[in-house]
Amino acid sequence: MPAELTTPQGTDPTRIHNIGYRSYDGPRLGRSYARRSLFSQSLRGAYGLGRSAKSKVLPMILFAVMCLVAAIIVAVAVAGPGMTDLPVKYTRYAIVMQAVIGLYLASQAPQSVSRDLRFKTVPLYFSRPIERVDYVLAKYAAMASALFVLTATPLVILYAGALLAEFDFADQTKAFAQGLVSVALLSVLFAGIGLVMAALTPRRGFGVAAVIAVLTISYGAVSTVQVIAWEQGSTGAVEWLGLFSPLTLVDGVQTAFLGATSAFPGGEGPSAGSGVVYLLAVLALIVGSYAVLMRRYRKVGL
């Protein structure tokens, strides 16, 4: 038997050939493909996909927390007797969960842009077909999309739960749609702020601290002053103070236009008139973030 297994010399078809260098004649898909590749790589990276196991831990935990809380709310809504609506509105969910969103942004915005700056990988990008605007757009869009995934997925869970509990379909669908628009706006605004902070602080640790500081300190300061103003009876001040922190900006816009109940003290959110100012402030911040990023990358070319 073993004699049959031995192959006669010279007829063994499996041999290793050194095939030498092979040139590439296939397609080169160019700039827009490269931009899309950078976008998908950055988006995956924001959840630790394609990176080390260690870097998956935090974003996945935060994502799980966002979904778990929504699932608990759904469980309460379905099991609770006599419920006609979700205990937490769609537009309110992101505000309730702001700490988780802030932590996510603070951990992922620096990894998205600070790494490339700190390890000087940026010149390798700019020695390829893409231009500065492609790089900034891809990174911005990826961060905003990552935040949207984080904030919209729990809304989907809430909506599914609401339908399961047989709440009014038309009401729920409208509120769900308003909630999606709200978190989309929040995602773009927060992504811009987070990336600017991270791009200006190439050391990752500082970037994390800077993002947390800007989000939480501004929100803490604004809501404290709002409470003081409200207790002193100056409701007009409450309305305008909300312009000074990212989260209260989003709150103001959704109160004015997206049927949300304001989280401001006493529910004193902006009316449709002053809501326009809020909306303009949000758009100005988004455009401003983009402009700062473009400026930042002008210097790091090569």
Partner 1 sequence: MIATESLSKRFPRVTALDRLSLDIGPGVTGLVGANGAGKSTLIKILLGLSPATEGTAAVLGLDVATSGGAIREQVGYMPEHDALPPDVSATEFVVHMARMSGLPPTAARERTADTLRHVGLYEERYRPIGGYSTGMKQRVKLAQALVHDPKLVLLDEPTNGLDPVGRDEMLGLIRRVFTDFGISVLVTSHLLGELERTCDHVVVIDGGKLLRSSSTSDFTQTTATLAVEVTDSDTHPDGTRAVREALTAAGAKLHARVEDGLPGAGHILLVEATGEETYDLVRDTVADLGIGLVRMEQRRHHIAEVFRTADAADAAAAEAAPEPAAVQPAQHAAQHAVQQKGGGRDAG
**Which residues would be at the binding site for partner 1 (CB under 8 A)?**
20-24, 26-31, 33-34, 37-38, 41, 50-52, 55, 115-116, 119-121, 123-131, 301-302
Give the nearer residue to partner 1 in terms of CB position, either 34 or 263.
34
Give min distance, CB of 291 to partner 1, in A. Answer: 21
Give the nearer residue to partner 1 in terms of CB position, either 50 or 220.
50
Give the nearer residue to partner 1 in terms of CB position, either 41 or 274.
41
Distance, CA of 224 to CA of 57 (rounded, Å): 34
Coil/strand/helix, residue 200: helix
Give min distance, CB of 175 to partner 1, in A. Answer: 40
Pick from 262, 107, 266: which is nearest to 182 by CA? Answer: 262
Give the nearer residue to partner 1 in terms of CB position, either 125 or 264.
125
Give min distance, CB of 301 to partner 1, in A. Answer: 6
Task: List the alpha helices (DSSP H) in 201-302.
Answer: 204-212, 218-231, 235-241, 246-257, 272-299
Give the nearer residue to partner 1 in terms of CB position, either 44 or 160.
44
Pick from 215, 207, 186, 213: which is nearest to 116 by CA? Answer: 207
Give min distance, CB of 194 to partner 1, in A. Answer: 19
Give the nearer residue to partner 1 in terms of CB position, either 56 or 274.
56
Give min distance, CB of 27 to partner 1, in A. Answer: 6
Give min distance, CB of 206 to partner 1, in A. Answer: 18
Contact 179, 259 (CB under 8 A): no
25-31 contact pairs (CB < 8 A, 24+): 30/129, 31/129, 31/130, 31/131, 31/134
In sequence order, the 6+-apart residues with CB closer than 8 A to the CB of 84 are 167, 168
